[in-house]
Amino acid sequence: MNCYIGKSRILNGVRLFLCCTKNVKGSGDVLQCCIFAGMLRKVIFLWILWLPLGALQAKRNSIPDEMPKETTEGVSLSRSITPDAMVFEKAFAAFQLLNDSGLRVFAIIDYTKPSTVERFFIYDADKKILLQKLLVAHGKNSGENFATHFSNKNGSLKSSPGFYRTGSTYVGKHGYSLRLYGLESGFNDHAYERAIVIHGADYVNERFIKTHQRLGRSWGCPAISNECSKSVIDLIKNGAVIYIHTNDQNYLSKSTLYNGKH
């Protein structure tokens, strides 16, 4: 028996080959075509159906079961960990109420994030777009990598939650600095007398994180990198609203500004 390629036909754009067998009987050649068109149609139909399903399954298999989590080990600055939408909207609503300087920028410092990621966010208030994000330290007694303890008391060396307004600049022991005025009684209204200011610090940079797995800590100030302190301070000085967000449940439940009860 010799098997060879015989006729061909097209079914749905797929060329079907009909395999014929040649049986030799006696004096004459009898061609007996073994046409498996019906079977081939079913096989090819199922194959065509399987193609997109197989590609989809392959794509699914290429996606990890869980998205990568933010790490507090080493430096993780490539991801943008912006505040969630609710925090942003609450901060923006308070900005609209408090803004009387004409400055169309406001900022959120999100102390619910670890110090190893950028958590100081500056926004264009008109377009609601992020202008800049940067590293920022918290108070020494507020915690190690995460800020978990807060105070409004002088000498506590802790950060304070809530809304602030920026003041004027000056040059002090930390160089070019920006005064802050706390706007919420009982939570941050002692900021000025505590000398809580924005200033540059040599412990706020990626090199420090690589060595210590966290940023250095201040005496309560939201300290930022020396490399960007001048430009950031000039962007938000003289009246910008800053909201320092924390997990402090006492503040979150009682703040009239945060809860929109002005």
pLDDT at 17: 38
- Using CB atoms within 10 A of its CB, is residue 146 exposed (0-12), middle (13-18) or buried (19+)? middle
Contacts of residues 50-55 at CB distance under 8 Å and 24 or more positions apart, as own/partner, are none
The stretch 160-175 carries a mean pLDDT of: 97
Percent of the chain with pLDDT over 70: 69
Say which residues have a Cβ less than 8 Å from residue 77's Cβ, sequence separation at least 6. Answer: 117, 118, 135, 206
With 80 as the cut, is the pLDDT of residue 46 above it?
no
At which residue do the structure tokens 């399903």 appear? 53
Does residue 231 carry a pLDDT above 80? Answer: yes
Q: Where are the alpha helices (DSSP H) in 29-178?
A: 37-61, 85-98
Does this model's pTM top 0.85? My answer is no
Domains recognised in the chain with CATH numbers: 2-61 (no CATH), 85-254 (2.40.440.10)
More confident residue, 6 or 193: 193
The more confident residue out of 260 and 197 is 197
What is the arithmetic mean of pLDDT over 25-45?
49
Distance CA 239, CA 255 (A): 21
User: Comparing 1-10, 39-48, 178-187, 251-260, which segment has the lowest mean pLDDT?
Assistant: 1-10
